Amino acid sequence: MRDLFDWTIKLTGAVAVSSLVYQTYLFYSRRREEEEINEVLFFPVDTTKTFNQDFVENFFQGGGVVINSDSNLAKVLGYVRNAKVSVDVCLYIFTCPEFGNVLVSCMRRGIIIRVIVDFVSIQENGREVNRLRMLGVPVRGRKQEHHMHHKFVIIDSSILLNGSFNWTQTAVTGNNENVIITSNKHVVAEFVNEFSKLWKIHNKI
């Protein structure tokens, strides 16, 4: 009987410890999930820190480039690539094939892609936008008198990439640009509303 009592006490203790461990795990898991993303990236970064090959040589030879996984370009692409539900893109101009490739990859995984651009993105160099259109991605362009000058991307309605950064090769390798990445709910919600408003008023192209 004494052995049974001791065994019961030990079992109760083990259950209590196990429960405490589980509750601690849940606490820190929720805490990690609730941690807000706030990151700032600047461009340009030294080409050799962005690409594993000579970018200029490959560019003019029409070859592909290999992006360093720890570069700022890879970080921006990574946020888009990790989308689970949707990617809403609102840019003045979009010509960089690396970003076109990541959107195509997302689309093939069933991610909902929507793109708003200024018409200059079609008039000056529309290859990437037209490629997306041919694959069935809905694209809309401004119809107001002035430019659609935004540069922001919303991922899963919960992560915002916003700044001066158009999706162009010059923005990656030449211009002084910035990208602010945040999951602040209040900030993201404002941009979700702005995208919805622009999506309604702009023309399908």
Specify whether 149 is catalytic. Answer: yes
- Considering the candidates 147, 149, 185, 197, report the single residue annotated as catalytic: 149
Spatial separation of the C-alpha atoms in residues 165 and 163, rounded to whole Å: 6
At residue 128, the 3 state secondary structure works out as: helix
**49 in catalytic set:** no
Task: Give yes or no for a contact between 203 and 169, defined as CB atoms under 8 angstroms apart.
Answer: no
Q: Which of 156, 197, 200, 202 is catalytic?
A: 156
Neighbours of 170 (CB within 10 A): 14
Return d(Cα 167, Cα 177) in angstroms, integer. Answer: 11
From the candidates 88, 118, 150, 151, give the one annotated as an active-site residue: 151
For the CA atoms of 126, 45, 150, 167, what is the dihedral angle to 10 degrees? 20
- Given a contact cutoff of 8 angstroms between Cβ atoms, the answer to whether 167 and 96 are in contact is yes
**156: annotated active-site residue:** yes
- Catalytic residues, by residue number, are 149, 151, 156
